[in-house]
Structure 1
Amino acid sequence: MPLSENARGALFMSIAMAAFTCNDALVKFVTSELSIAQIMAVRGIMTMLLVYAAARTVSSLGSWRVMLHPLVLLRGTFEIGATLTFLSALANIEFANASSIMQSLPLAVTLGAALFFGEPVGWRRWTAIAVGFLGVLLILKPGPEGFAPASLFAVGAVFFTAARDLTTRRMSKDIPTLSVTLFTTLANTIMGTLLIWPMGGWQPVSAGTFTCLAIASVAVFVGYQSVIMSMRGGEISFVAPFRYTSLVWALIIGILFFGEAPDFLMLLGAAIVIGSGLYTFYREAKRRTVTAAKTSPVSPSA
């Protein structure tokens, strides 16, 4: 039985979240051996080769001048910030905690769209955003004993990633997706290379570490492509909530491979963040339905 467009979109989104979470776990494994900069450089080179090969295969690379478009450059800058902050979080806090904080990304995107693009956000969604960020505070545990300052790296990653996504919304559809992905990977690779020496210099890469980064680069590539196929195949309001499956993977990986034991406050905060995000998706879908009903022409009566 063939899958519907929404079912296909949900499947690809779930695959993307599994791939990205596996990439994050592999990167966390090697942070004790390599600096963040070296990880960015080595993984970036391998991912860039994969993206370039895919773009050449489907002849969708486009002109190199696309990479000089101001929005492409701005998106690349935000991506660098997101990579640096999130990898710093992975290196210093528990895996599941970092992933839980990142679940507030849809709320941050909604907030940014309202503040910078003037998109309409009613009081219900404003309330959901506020409640969601209170959930983030529960995960952060802002007290003298429970708070880990490195958790702020994950918060920074949320806002850098939200800025990247908002910039992507403003980009013309004429700009090939693979060209944007290639430039993003190139920018991360160059920045990682430039930071290798300030961050401690080049360290020998063992066969095990190289294998981890090679698998991580494939996971990143699969994640990028799956997200694209997901968003193009299904309704956003139906597909987007499946982003939260990444937290399920993160909890499983954190427990099985990093020996983590999520506490009650972290789980409660994550539940609040996800609940708030799902509610904002619901309200956005309802708003679009109402808007479409108001703007659609009324059929003349027989």
Structure 2
Amino acid sequence: MTSPSRGAFSGPLFAALAMVGAGACFALVNGALQASTMQLGVPSTSAAFWQYALGLLIALPWVLRRGLSSLKTRQLGWHLMRAALAVVGIQLWVAGLARVEIWQAIALVMTSPFFVIIGAKLFFSEKVGVVRWLATVAGFSGGMIILQPWTEAFHWGAVLPVAAAAFWAGTSLVTKKLTATERADSITVYLLLLLTPVNALLALGDGGIVPSGNALWLLIGAGVLTVVANYLLTLAYKNADATFVQPFDHLKLPLNIAVGFLAFGFAPSGAFWPGALVIVGASLLVMLDEQKRSTAISRTA
């Protein structure tokens, strides 16, 4: 694990490829988690623990080789904050995957950018503007179309991915702050080190089941891909502005739909398509607004 510096392994193109790679890895992770929980009966807390514990074991040789220098930081408080937000988001997300089909879960978690907008306003006093507020309202409206809380088919488990999106939005805000001073590999390792003991306590409180057979192999795969995905995600944010890489993040929607269909035969319902279109459209509106702002700032600089 080393951070790219020059040449082909840096810049916007590398950031775009890193974001797409992260999305593909996360799609496979979600498929593995859904199979182990929904089909093989592993409790969601245990699945979350083993996913990140195995990821830590994979990263541990690198930590030992680099020594304590890999953990050198002046931002321990922000690392702790990031881990706290991430662990809640992870637990909510895996619990959601154990209850709702992957296509619905991934579409609802895509409301995260709109929580980012609210969080940026509340905690960093960023200027939001009318366009972003309208996009936020539209994005959450798309989520409501997918949830359909007014129908008999609705159940509260479908709200879990939305709650996960809120906590992951906080994680994204802290990640962007950390990338200004921290190495991508250190950010990844700190997350794994801090998440594992908390997830272990939650798993023990829920019975602490040790997976075996196919469930174990699925979670090993999820652990490997989680390390790769988080590292690629950090690299994407480090090598380009968030507004540039955000559209590539939307590819996670068709990637997750493909995994769900190929692995489980899950197909989106009719309400999914208009809701997802509204969410993606609102996200793109936010991106265009950010580009417009950046252009205006560069002209006045």
Normalization by structure 1: what TM-score?
A: 0.89
- Residue 252 in 1 paired to residue 242 in 2? no
Query: CA-to-partner distance for each residue in 1:66-92, whole Å, 9 max, x for gaps?
Result: 498221111111011001100110000
Q: What residue is the counterpart of 1:83 in the other structure?
A: 90
Q: What residue is the counterpart of 1:238 in the other structure?
A: 244
Within the candidate set 155, 158, 171, 1:164 is matched to: 171
In the superposition, relative to structure 1, how do residues 64 and 221 fare at CA in structure 2: closer, same or farther (>3 Å)?
closer
Q: What residue is the counterpart of 1:225 in the other structure?
A: 231
Once the two structures are superposed, the pairs formed by residues 1-302 of structure 1 within 5 Å of their partners are 5-31=11-37, 32-57=40-65, 59=66, 62=69, 64=71, 66=73, 69-171=76-178, 173-203=180-210, 205-295=211-301
Aligned 8 A contact 1:67 1:179 in 2: no
Question: 1:192 deviation in Å?
Answer: 2.4
Segment drifting more, 65-74 vs 78-87? 65-74
Q: Tell me the percent identity.
A: 26
Query: CA-to-partner distance for each residue in 1:86-139, whole Å, 9 max, x for gaps?
Result: 011000011110000111112211221122211111211111111111001011
Query: CA-to-partner distance for each residue in 1:10-57, whole Å, 9 max, x for gaps?
Result: 122111100011111101111133112222222222201222333455
Segment drifting more, 179-188 vs 140-149? 179-188
* Paired letter, 2:57: L
CA distance in 2, matches of 1:185, 1:47: 7
Question: 1:226 deviation in Å?
Answer: 1.5
Partner-residue secondary structure (3-state), 1:92: coil
* Paired letter, 2:256: A
User: Once superposed, what is the RMSD of the aligned Cα atoms?
Assistant: 2.3
Aligned 8 A contact 1:61 1:176 in 2: no
* Paired letter, 1:278: L
Segment drifting more, 15-24 vs 216-225? 216-225
In the superposition, relative to structure 1, how do residues 294 and 61 fare at CA in structure 2: closer, same or farther (>3 Å)?
farther
Q: Which has the larger radius of gyration?
A: 1
* Paired letter, 2:60: Y
In the superposition, relative to structure 1, how do residues 68 and 227 fare at CA in structure 2: closer, same or farther (>3 Å)?
closer
Residues paired across the two proteins, number:
292
Question: 1:60 deviation in Å?
Answer: 8.1
Question: 1:4 deviation in Å?
Answer: 8.8
Where do 5+ consecutive residues of structure 2 fail to align? 1-7
Normalization by structure 2: what TM-score?
A: 0.89
Where do 5+ consecutive residues of structure 1 fail to align? 296-302
In the superposition, relative to structure 1, how do residues 60 and 11 fare at CA in structure 2: closer, same or farther (>3 Å)?
farther
